Amino acid sequence: MKLKDFLSSINTYGAELHRPFIIAEAGVNHEGSMVTAKRLVDEASEGGADAIKFQTYKADTLASRHSPAYWDTSKEPTLSQHELFSKHDKFWKKEMEQLKEYCDLRNIEFMSTPFDLESAQFLNELMDVFKISSSDITNKPFIKYLCGFNKPIILSTGASELWEIQEAVSWIEEFGNPVALLHCVLNYPTPDENANLGMIRGLLKAFPDKLIGYSDHTMPADMKVCEIAALLGSVIIEKHFTHDKTLPGNDHYHAMDVHDLKLFQRNMDRVFGLLGGFRVDALKDEEISRRNARRSLIARNDLKSGQEITESDLTFKRPAYGISPRLIDDLVGKKVVKEIPEDTVLHWNMFE
């Protein structure tokens, strides 16, 4: 299912959880190689991701030459944002069109986060949904520009106060675009103790009419962080994706790979298999228990023909083939048709 259709299919939360839509965030982990980019598409598709998302930017329009690093410089030693982004900004319109075409062949949805007006314009022709980075949550003119394409918006909320999220949502709501919010922590990587997954519930409370998801920057490990996020109500899970977690660079070492993605899918199979449905009713496999483990009204003593039943004449025992104890008030006062021996399971045809 396409993301746009997925978002529109979930109308209200209530008590229900939904198996999340999974976005493999490839970003610029292709490092300028179309061969690597297509490998990322292949492996994201193999792992069961619903979409793969790239990033489209030019260093000169994204960061000044004096923008300091905000990542773990022991893993990525580049100290300048402009310098780092200059290494990965070679993919543009032509490359994104090729990736869109390849994603269609591999049956996985293509996405890319735009970081400037020009990339937003040509990406509009390739996508049904726009993703806005946490870094642009205060970028009012850019958010309004993206809303002008009249498409659903997914907005990450990393490093934001609640009022900043509310303000950004208000700008989007002016245009009437559907919006989903992704809880996100802007640590690269995010230590597990900083994942703060409880904020998912906080967003659900603050925005009861919005869909809430999770954009993860923790180390993949056993993928339990994303699993818990889904159980807390995240309907979208976005996580950085790579073909090789040992590579140097800002978005490789904390990314999941195809094996992590498959593990997460197995976790989701298990979790949603255990959850089953959210409608409260008895299961077909419980029918034998309903009949044999529940109780019926039983004659406590011998009952004579014409005798009027009192509560002291009755007890309750298994199985549930007879009159249910829940109907005891309806039985008391009725007269016995013919003699009933002690310990008999009682049925309505035994009484007037």
**Residue 334 Cα distances to 100, 303, 310, 342, 347, angstroms:** 76, 12, 8, 17, 12
Looking at residue 71, its pLDDT comes to: 66
| Domains of the chain listed by start with CATH number | 3-275 (3.20.20.70), 285-350 (3.90.1210.10)
pLDDT > 50? residue 114: yes
Element (H, E) at 184: strand 179-184
**Lowest-confidence pick of 64-78, 170-184, 249-263:** 64-78
| Structure tokens belonging to residue 20 | 């999340």
CA nearest to 140, candidates 162, 118, 168: 168
- Please state, in angstroms and rounded to a whole number, the distance separating the CA atoms of residues 319 and 296: 6
Peptide bond into 208 cis (omega under 30): no
pLDDT > 90? residue 4: yes
DSSP labels, 256-321: B-HHHHHHHHHHHHHHHHHH--SS----GGGHHHHHHTS-EEEESS-B-TTPBP-GGGEEEES--S
Residue 180, burial from CB neighbour count under 10 angstroms (0-12, 13-18, 19+)? buried
- Please state, in angstroms and rounded to a whole number, the distance separating the CA atoms of residues 328 and 26: 65
Q: Which residues on adjacent β-strands are paired with residue 154?
A: 131, 180
Phi-psi sector, 236: left (phi>0), alpha (psi -120 to 50), beta: beta
Looking at residue 14, its pLDDT comes to: 47
Looking at residue 178, its pLDDT comes to: 96
Average pLDDT, integer, range 150-163? 98
pLDDT in tens, 291-312: 999 999 999 999 999 999 999 9
Q: Which residues on adjacent β-strands are paired with residue 340?
A: 303
| Structure tokens belonging to residue 216 | 């993860």
- Please state, in angstroms and rounded to a whole number, the distance separating the CA atoms of residues 319 and 291: 6
Average pLDDT, integer, range 167-177? 98
Contacts of 177 (CB under 8 A, 6+ apart): 147, 150, 151, 152, 153
* Count of alpha carbons within 13 angstroms of residue 129, beta-carbon side: 22
How far, in whole angstroms, is CA 65 from its chain's centroid?
Answer: 38
Q: Which residues on adjacent β-strands are paired with residue 211?
A: 180
Write the single-letter amino acid at 167.
Answer: E
Alpha helices, H only, the chain = 3-9, 34-47, 59-62, 81-86, 93-105, 117-123, 140-147, 162-173, 198-206, 224-231, 258-275, 287-292, 328-331
- Please state, in angstroms and rounded to a whole number, the distance separating the CA atoms of residues 249 and 64: 20
pLDDT > 70? residue 61: yes
Looking at residue 11, its pLDDT comes to: 65
